[in-house]
Amino acid sequence: MSKVFIPEGYKPILGPTETQRAIKKIKDYFQAELSHRLRLGRVSAPLFVFPETGLNDNLNGYERRVNFTIKDLDEREVEVVQSLAKWKRMALGRYDVKPGVGLYTDMNAIRRDEELDNLHSIYVDQWDWEKVITADQRTEAFLEATVKNIYGALVSLAEYMNEAYPELNINLPEDITFVYSQDLEYEYPDLTSKEREKEAAKKYGAIFVKKIGGALKSGEPHDGRAPDYDDWELNGDIILWNEVLEDAFEISSMGIRVDSESMLRQLMIDGKEDRINMPFHQGVINNTLPLTIGGGIGQSRLCMYFLKKAHIGEVQVSVWPESMYDECAAGNIFLL
């Protein structure tokens, strides 16, 4: 059996053809709203990078990257990006972007080690965004203000989609609730981190879990984070309550990026000192790259949530186990 969950009595609100139209409405509206609220300009982005640059995202550190060699570069190896967390910061430096403005781009990636289920596909599509900030903006207050801006875009999108498709009846809380990962561990000491997120998301409807990556009092981190892009003291995840799946639903991972001090500290904690001499890491350590805040917002995740779909394959085309196709068909889930 596959890992798919079939909600009892599930019936999609929009059929396949209208779903495709609605996906375009969501993507067009939200990226315009995000760009306006955060002062971001759209740029083109790479699908692959040279591994020795240190630009690829290592995610949790154990995922295998997809790589291949290029004939006309004497079979030099490149890697398909897993996200653009580091590339964006390098790009802002190259474009000499000033504080207060930034960029966003469509990021497409392959994550070959994802466990395929309702939420996870080997094909990843997200809006990757990054914005230049000043040293005095590296604070929790600035992080929270940015989160509220993004959440405001989500609320606006909900209003737009409810007007276009009243049958969706999307209900988001007026405000997002901020919670510390350590406070969740205190409140639910016998639960896993994902179970804690589920309880908090169900309670508040929309949460931002702060401070992810460093060890909690239990000795374990709330979740894994690479040591060389987010500052673990100034980051977090936007999580919504998904009434279709009756579970927590992560929409975005984001944060204020590492400066020289936090970069070196986190590399030491994670045992990744071997990265220090890579070009990207030298740019952070030597303060030749700008200070930034940034993140990724899942495009298929967003469409899945706002169209009240039970499976990410209802809003993107990917590949799935044969057993999953059969189970989904039996449960009224139409995989594109």
For 191, phi and psi rounded to 5 degrees? -105, 155
Which entry of 130, 230, 233, 237 is annotated as an active-site residue?
237
Q: Which residues contact 22 (CB under 8 A, 6 or more apart)?
A: 14, 161, 164, 165, 303, 307
Question: Can 327 be counted among the known catalytic residues?
Answer: no
Separation between Cα atoms, residue 92 and residue 78, nearest integer Å: 22
Which entry of 89, 111, 196, 257 is annotated as an active-site residue?
111
Helices marked H in 165-270 — which ranges?
A: 181-187, 193-204, 260-270
Question: Can 220 be counted among the known catalytic residues?
Answer: no
Which entry of 82, 126, 137, 318 is annotated as an active-site residue?
126
Question: Can 250 be counted among the known catalytic residues?
Answer: yes
Which entry of 33, 57, 233, 327 is annotated as an active-site residue?
57
Which entry of 130, 197, 228, 250 is annotated as an active-site residue?
250
Separation between Cα atoms, residue 115 and residue 120, nearest integer Å: 7
Give one DSSP letter per residue of 240-277, joined into a string.
EEETTTTEEEEEEEEEEEP-HHHHHHHHHHHT-GGGTT
Question: Can 111 be counted among the known catalytic residues?
Answer: yes
Which entry of 83, 253, 266, 316 is annotated as an active-site residue?
253
Q: Sheet harboring 48-49: ordered strands across?
A: 48-49, 76-80, 67-70
Question: Can 156 be counted among the known catalytic residues?
Answer: no
Question: Can 237 be counted among the known catalytic residues?
Answer: yes
Catalytic residues: 57, 111, 126, 237, 250, 253
